[in-house]
Amino acid sequence: MLVLKVIFWASLAALAWTHLLYPLFIAVVARLRPRPARADEGFRPRVALVIAAYNEDDVIERKLENALALDYPRELLRILVASDASSDRTDELVRAYADRGVELVRAPRGGKVNAQNFTVRTLADVDVVAFSDANCEWEPDALGHLVAPLADPKVAYVCGRLKLRSPEGTNQEGAYWRYEIWLRARESLVHSVTGGNGSIYAVKRERYEEVDPRFGHDLSFPYLMVKRGFRAVYAPKAVALEKMTTDLSDEFRRKVRMFGHCWLLVLHGRMFGPLALGPLYWVEMVSHRFLRYASGILHLALLATSLILAFTAGGAYAVVLGLHVVFGLCVLASIALKGKVRIFALAEYYLLITLATLLALGDVVRGVPAVWERAEGTR
């Protein structure tokens, strides 16, 4: 019985910390001890914009027009498409832009990061490498805002702000993402962000590191920059726009794939060394990344122990079991109402995303391929 109580309280404490107390902690520290990067909006380094693409013939022309319209000195900007051995008309369409300065780099099929690594090896004449996906569009001034913090010699990585277009549907990703960027802004003020996004980010060319293609840049680059003694910060004025899928099932499949790569990095990426990261950033990483990905395991442990202890010890254990029941009823209500009531839809979204962390861990055990697939609803 003692073991069950220890598991119960440890699981409850970990969930309360990662979802409730850590955001409050980081917000307080950001208010009391802010360390903003010394951004210079007039800073204009030589930039290579690398657009990762795999079978993007339905969106690649729009993306290239968007890239060519960026308000950035054209003589300081190279635009390259890193094609992961696309088998549709993507490469053909990109080649049609060669007379406008767009370059195609065709990599052997090996996943997004493999294509990015392959392309960056060809870049010896730039100061900064910026990255984007083919299915998003940057605001005209986004690149200037993105590189501004890199004027600070202590900053090696910058991620911009992804704004999700929120059409009608059952997916509540927009609400989750607004919370994430709020948290990211405060982590950046305190020290460094713990994660980026693939739609808009940049790294100094000399700080670029080739990582295992299974890991991805979103999680590996921020902590690697910190391990090397630099900062990874957030630039909220650097905005990219992306369509959000309306379908929760499509979002669920995407999250399973994403968390699979996250688990690989957590288990094999050596990303939680306190001596290398420093105490404050280590707290950020454990709180925002490890415990967040472990939420599925923690919830299972909490549910199982509360189910047993509620009938033997009552008290707090019965209360927690009751909260599980209420949460389950909210999810059932969301399914019955087809996600039309927001509070119920958020409960369903949280359940499926938490479940995705568990399924992704199972995928890691079986092996996750380095290739990536398109999320059709975001096109």
Residue 121 belongs to a domain: yes
Strand 155-165 with 231-243, pairing: parallel
Evaluate whether residue 273 is within a structural domain: no
pLDDT, position 246 = 63
Q: Which tokens sit at 101?
A: 């300065």
User: How many residues comprise the chain?
Assistant: 379
The domain total for the chain is 1
> Chunked in runs of 10, what are the mean pLDDT values of the chain (379 residues)?
93 96 97 94 97 94 97 97 94 96 94 93 94 95 98 97 69 76 95 94 96 86 95 97 75 82 79 84 94 94 95 91 94 87 88 91 71 52
Model pLDDT for residues 210-250, shown as the tens digit of each residue: 988 878 899 899 999 999 999 999 999 999 998 776 667 77
Supply the pLDDT for residue 170: 53
Helix (H) or strand (E) holding 48: strand 47-53
Question: Can you give the pTM of this predicted structure?
Answer: 0.89
Specify if 136 maps to a domain: yes
Contacts of 52 (CB under 8 A, 6+ apart): 82, 84, 112, 115, 116, 131, 132, 133, 134, 198
Task: Quote the domain boundaries for residue 134.
Answer: 47-263
In-domain check, residue 197 = yes
The two tokens of residue 251 are 């979002």
Do 346 and 178 form a contact (C-beta atoms < 8 A)? no
- Give 255's contacts (C-beta < 8 A, 6+ positions apart): 352, 353, 356, 360
Nearest to 231, CA basis, from 240, 220, 219, 222: 222
Which sign, positive or negative, has the C-alpha torsion 366, 372, 376, 377? positive
| CA–CA separation, 247 and 170 (whole Å) | 6
Tokens of 323: 């909260």
User: Is 115 within 8 Å of 375 (Cβ atoms)?
Assistant: no
On whether residue 329 sits in a domain, the answer given is no
For residue 285, the Cα-to-chain-centroid distance in whole angstroms is 13
What stretch of H or E contains 232?
A: strand 231-243
Q: 157: closest CA among 214, 213, 224, 108?
A: 224
pLDDT value at residue 168? 47
Nearest to 243 by CA among 133, 156, 338: 133
333 within a domain of the structure (yes/no): no
- Three-class SS state of 210: coil
Sheet of 77-84: strand order equals 102-107, 77-84, 47-53, 128-133, 201-204, 155-165, 231-243, 136-138
Longest dimension (CA), the chain: 75
Closest CA to 125 of 67, 78, 157, 74: 78
Closest to 38 (Cα-Cα) out of 189, 208, 227, 226: 189
How many C-beta atoms surround the C-beta of residue 31 within 10 A?
A: 11
- Here the CATH number for the domain that contains residue 84 is 3.90.550.10
**CA–CA dist 258, 299 (Å, integer):** 20
3-state SS record for 68-116: HCCCCCHHHEEEEEEEECCCCCHHHHHHCCHHHCEEEEEECCCCHHHHH
Residue 184 lies in a domain: yes
Note the pLDDT tens digit of each residue in 64-74. 999 999 999 99
Residue 70 confidence (pLDDT) = 97
List the helix and strand counts (H, then E) for the chain.
Answer: 15, 8
Q: Looking at the domain assignment, is residue 328 inside a domain?
A: no
Contact 256, 181 (CB under 8 A): no
